[in-house]
Amino acid sequence: MTADVEPSRLEPQVLPLFADRTPRVVDLDQVPAGDAAEVPKPDTSGLPAPTQRVIVGDARKIDLPDASVDLVVTSPPYWKKRDYGHANQIGLEDTPQGFVSAIMDCLEEWRRLLRPTGSVFLNVGDTYHKRSLMGIPGRIEAAAMDAGWLIRNRIIWAKEKGMPEPAKNRLANRHEYIIHLSPRPNYYYDLFGYSIEYGNGANPGDVWTMGLDRNMGAHLAPYPRELARRAIVLACPPAVCTTCGVPSERIVARTAQLDPRRPQAKRAMQLAVEKGLTEAHIAAIQATGVSDAGKALSFQTGTGRNSKSVQTLAKEAKDALGGYFREFTFAKKVTTGWTDCGHEGRTRGVVLDPFMGTGTTLQVALQTGRDAIGVDLNPLAPEVG
């Protein structure tokens, strides 16, 4: 779980590097793309196969128990875009305010269903009405904030291609919004795993460039499978304790491993060995960071000041390395395991799509090892499992 600050328990130590006085480097040519060989999966071997359930019903009142869902990923009908022919449908309200009110009714129901570490990814587009954009996504964000939701990201879905538009006096629309909302600050979030898959180890940012997955059926929804996958990888735990509800979280450790293909990194490791630096020196560098502040907060003793020993070790290391000390502040991190609350029972993470349409989100959830639940007034995907 994390919000803006990464819990220090997810960065427990610097992995051994200099025990034999030889600088160990990672041969990146031998590591599979995405560091797949160094990302241990949580143990779900004892769990039943992922299941899918389809509920015929309204997204504002779902027949599920409280705190039974880990993640909501969905795309409701956009305002004034399409008539699905159902008396209780959302999207044909007379005013933008009426539409936003209906979405807020949905969010209130989803808040009930979310576990304490749950959150929502809401894909919503804007609408032109009387020759003006209505600002639908912003209206939803404002109403959600007023209702106590945290707006964690406004992600831009940048479309590689778009639907043809006849307008001659404005630019064609080539983006939509994916709003990430949470009712609590401590939601489950696996940024490390996501960054390996989508950002080469760095924070990939809030612009998702994706094409359209077209469907010419009754729902006509160009909803990308990748959109659902990104949200699930980011925010749905692979397993949850059935006793305490705590999700399994990735344990990440810093290493002192650098890329030997970069001359600066190779020289930094050579100097570290020549100057006799220890694992503690490297840990101190990584704790203080380039600006001498950084992660040192996690080494404090509660006084509000950096530990004296960390300051001393960091100074020794920086004096020995000169400008090359910066290389170790960007050393590789690896997954060393997953947390275990100590209880016996576990279940798979649960993904809910309250506007399931053709079932794209459900299919992706199953493929990623999560249980899937879909709700729709006119479900088009068959129930499986």
For residue 14, the model assigns a pLDDT of 39
- Predicted confidence at residue 88, as pLDDT, reads 86
Could you list the mean pLDDT of each consecutive 10-residue stretch along the chain, which spans 385 residues? Answer: 38 38 35 44 84 96 97 94 83 94 98 98 94 96 98 94 82 94 97 87 88 58 85 97 93 82 89 90 81 45 61 91 87 87 93 94 96 89 38
- Tell me, what's the pLDDT at 256? 78
> Which pLDDT score, from 0 to 100, does residue 305 have?
52
- SS3 letters across the chain: CCCCCCCHHHCCCECCCCCCCCCCCCCHHHCCHHHHHHCCCCCCCCCCCCCEEEEECECCECCCCCCCEEEEEECCCCCCCCCCCCCCCCCCCCCHHHHHHHHHHHHHHHHHHEEEEEEEEEEECCCEECCEECCHHHHHHHHHHHCCCEEEEEEEEEECCCCCCCCCCCCCCCEEEEEEEECCCCCCCCHHHHHHHHCCCCCCCCEEEECCCCCCCCCCCCCCHHHHHHHHHHHCCCEEECCCCCECCEEEEECCCCCCCCHHHHHHHHHHHHCCCCHHHHHHHHHHCCCCCHHHHHHCCCCCCCCHHHHHHHHHHHHHHHHHHHHHCCCCEEEEEECCCCCCCEEECEEEECCCCCCHHHHHHHHCCCEEEEEECCCCCCCCC
- pTM given for the model: 0.80
Residue-level pLDDT at 289? 73
Go through the domains of the chain in sequence order and give each one's CATH number. Answer: 8-30+250-338 (no CATH), 52-238+349-376 (3.40.50.150)
Q: What is the pLDDT of residue 201?
A: 64
